[in-house]
Amino acid sequence: LQKDINYVEDIFLNKIRGGNTIITNEKDLRDAIKRSGRRMRIIVRPANEDEVEDKDVYPRPAAKANDLKPRPPVVTVMGHVDHGKTTLLDALRKTNVVSQEFGGITQHIGAFSVSLENGKNVTFLDTPGHAAFTAMRERGASITDIVVLVVAADDGVMEQTLESIRMAKQANVPILVAINKIDAPNADIDRTKRMLVEAGIQVESMGGDIQAVPISALKQQNLDQLTEALVIQAELLNVMADPTGLVEAVIVESKVDIHRGKLCTVIVQRGILKKGSILLCGTTMAKVRTIKDAEGRIISEVSPGYPAELDGWKDLPSAGEVVLEVENEKQAKSALRAREAKKQIEKQMQDAEIISAKEQQHLREYREKLQHKRSLGRYKLKPEGPRKPEIEKVDGPPTLSVIVKCDVDGTLEAVLNILDTYNEPGCELDLVHYNVGAITESDIELAKTFKSIIYAFNVKCPERFEALAAENDVTIKHHNVIYKLVDDIKREINARLPTME
Ligand code: GDP
């Protein structure tokens, strides 16, 4: 044991005692090792000043109403395969007045923003379908404000349409319907609407309040009507964000570019993202070097509700992860260390949990085995809690009645394993009760009732209980070596065997 080991966490003890055991000196450490036996897991950390100061960063408290400003809604396009999701997204990108004005070439970065004639904007996630939505949801990110449900007017509602409806409803995201392919020869808008109502989507013209905009993504018909409907919906939903203070964002997509390195697209949720911002995401960070929009233009800042592609990442974050801006690199590094440490502890906790679950399983199986033996009449065994005296009296061979108390499950199991091999027809072994932990008053009462010997393995008995035991003629035998405990039991059995005439 080194002198500088002064911060020890014993996960095993955490598990069985349900509390934190932080050990700061050698004596306590030795005691803990003794108590927990061979199955102890220890994490040792130096109590180094810098490390103790490592602090994680978290999203700021919710913004004040005064700081909230309208922002573009973030829209996910969903629907059945081949109903026109990709065609719609491509068409929307092309109609974007910004890309027309600047002659930019759109590229796939995972999201893009459309500027409408009226100066309003709508942001689309351009990975259509369930995968993107599910990936985001799995990571708990809720960046979608509205789902555009694309339903082809010739096909109507299909299997994946229903699935999309279910997912949007589950995520509590409002739906706006785009009835697509109205140019197709066998398009039937009314039939499609009737099918939607049947699927639980109460469209506007059928007495409900869900907008259904008939469009042709291929012929680029009514697309402005669709985007305007989205803006109106966003206003109704009061889609707002706080553009002040440190940035909060969500990763939409990430990739490695051979020329530009690690890139990812974010949608900003709070604050204004600028070049030079220090960002933290999971266990990686970035000092933002370049910010680009979906047209590939370098931009200087990004406001809430808008997507942008960033470089400068140390490691690649994954889609759905939350990005938080920090004041400086020192803070970012300290938070990363804190997150790494937390991750390690979680990993070890998981490992310990798996092992402990295995041990529990072992013990359960063992108890079942003993139960089974009891039903075969070999033991009168009562493993689940103390037995009531009235069922006790059995005539027959002499009996050694025992109660076993052990320090940990492992030793209890070992002792029970040995008792399991007991095979002496001349004397019955009656295991009245067993468990892990110190001797209690009820153990003594039980021993008194059943005339049992209490075998205590590595467990203490408070002085007053020793006295109580003596008063009641109850013998408590302490052991800390298993074979000695077993020898003791054998001696007791021999003493009870009928003597040969
Ligand atoms: P996705 O699987 O939902 O992404 O569907 P796509 O966008 O790939 O479209 C599937 C097919 O439908 C393609 O052949 C498109 O050209 C066609 N399509 C998409 N929109 C329209 C439309 O408005 N009218 C017609 N007639 N065909 C369309």
Banded pLDDT at 8 (limits 50, 70, 90): very low
Q: What angle do CA 310, 312, 314 make, to 5 degrees?
A: 125
> What is the average per-residue pLDDT within 362-368?
64
Pocket test residue of 87, 89, 150, 186 for ligand 1, highest count of atoms within 8 A of CB: 87
What is the tens place of the pLDDT at every residue in 13-35? 333 333 455 666 667 777 766 66
Nearest one of 264, 271, 265, 266 to 303, comparing CA atoms: 271
Within 10 angstroms of residue 268's Cβ, the number of other Cβ atoms is 25
In this prediction, residue 389 carries a pLDDT of 43
Cα distance between residue 2 and residue 154, in whole Å: 76
3-state DSSP of 118-161? CCCEEEEECCCCHHHHHHHHHCCCCCCCEEEEEEECCCCCCHHH
The predicted model scores a pTM of 0.65
32-46, 199-213, 305-319: range with lowest mean pLDDT: 32-46
Mean pLDDT across the chain, nearest whole number?
81
> CA-based angle 329:331:333, to the nearest 5?
70
**Using CA atoms, how far apart are residues 75 and 165, in angstroms rounded to an integer?**
15
Q: How many CB atoms lie within 10 A of CB 263?
A: 19
Nearest atom of ligand 1 to the alpha carbon of 216: 23
Q: Residue for token digits 């041990």?
A: 359
Whether the CB-CB separation of 179 and 189 falls below 8 Å is answered with: yes
Taking each helix axis from N to C terminus, what angle separates 159-170 and 130-138, rounded to the nearest 10 degrees? 30
Determine the atom of ligand 1 nearest the C-alpha atom of 128. Answer: 4
Would you say the CB of residue 418 lies under 6 angstroms from ligand 1?
no
Q: What pLDDT shows up at residue 24?
A: 67
Lowest mean pLDDT among 21-30, 160-169, 241-250, 320-329: 21-30
Helix or strand (DSSP H, E) at 419: helix 409-420
Residue 254 · residue 318 · CB < 8 Å: yes
Does the beta carbon of 184 lie inside 6 Å of ligand 1? yes
**Alpha helix segments (H runs only) across 20-96:** 26-36, 49-53, 85-95
**Matching residue, tokens 């997509």:** 253
Name the pLDDT band for 106 (thresholds 50, 70, 90): low
Q: How far is the CA of 178 from the centre of ligand 1 (A)?
A: 13
Going by pLDDT thresholds of 50, 70 and 90, the confidence category of residue 55 is confident
Hey, whose CA ends up nearest to atom 26 of ligand 1?
A: 184
> Above 50 in pLDDT, residue 160?
yes
Condensed to tens digits (0 to 9), the pLDDT of residues 228-260 reads 999 999 999 999 999 999 999 999 888 898 888
ipTM entry: 0.99
Tell me which of 465 and 381 has the higher pLDDT. 465
Residue 388 has pLDDT above 60, yes or no: no
Task: Let me know: does 175 contact 360? Beta carbons within 8 Å.
Answer: no
User: What pLDDT was estimated at residue 207?
Assistant: 85
Q: Is 424 in the pocket of ligand 1 (CB under 6 A)?
A: no
Q: Whose CA is nearest to atom 11 of ligand 1?
A: 82
Atom number of ligand 1 nearest to Cα 79? 3
- Output the six-digit token pair for 60: 């700021």
Kindly state if the Cβ of 83 falls inside 6 Å of ligand 1: yes
Of 7-21, 106-120, 389-403, 439-453, the poorest mean pLDDT is in: 7-21
pLDDT surpassing 90 at residue 83: yes
- Backbone torsion region of residue 57, taken as left when φ is above 0, otherwise alpha when ψ lies between -120 and 50, otherwise beta: beta
Cβ of residue 53 lying under 6 Å from some atom of ligand 1: no
Confidence band for 280, pLDDT divided at 50, 70 and 90: very high
Tell me the per-residue pLDDT of 124-154, one tens digit each, with 9 for 90 and over.
Answer: 998 755 666 676 666 656 789 999 999 999 9
Q: What is the pLDDT of residue 13?
A: 36
Amino acid at 53: E
pLDDT value, residue 418: 80
Between 181-195, 196-210, 478-492, the lowest mean confidence (pLDDT) is in 478-492
Query: Once rounded to an integer, what is the mean pLDDT over residues 162-170?
Result: 91
Looking at the predicted structure, is the pLDDT value of residue 392 above 60?
Answer: no
pLDDT at 47: 56
Residue 414 beta carbon below 6 angstroms from any ligand 1 atom: no
Task: Check if 153 has its Cβ closer than 6 Å to any atom of ligand 1.
Answer: no
Rounded to the nearest whole angstrom, what is the distance from the C-alpha of residue 158 to the centroid of ligand 1?
Answer: 15
pLDDT at 122 over 90: yes
Tokens, residue 379 = 């033991």
Q: Atom 9 in ligand 1: which residue has the minimum CA distance?
A: 84
Would the CB of 127 count as within 6 Å of ligand 1? no
What is the CA(171)–ligand 1 centre distance, in A? 26
- Report the percent of the chain where pLDDT is more than 90: 44
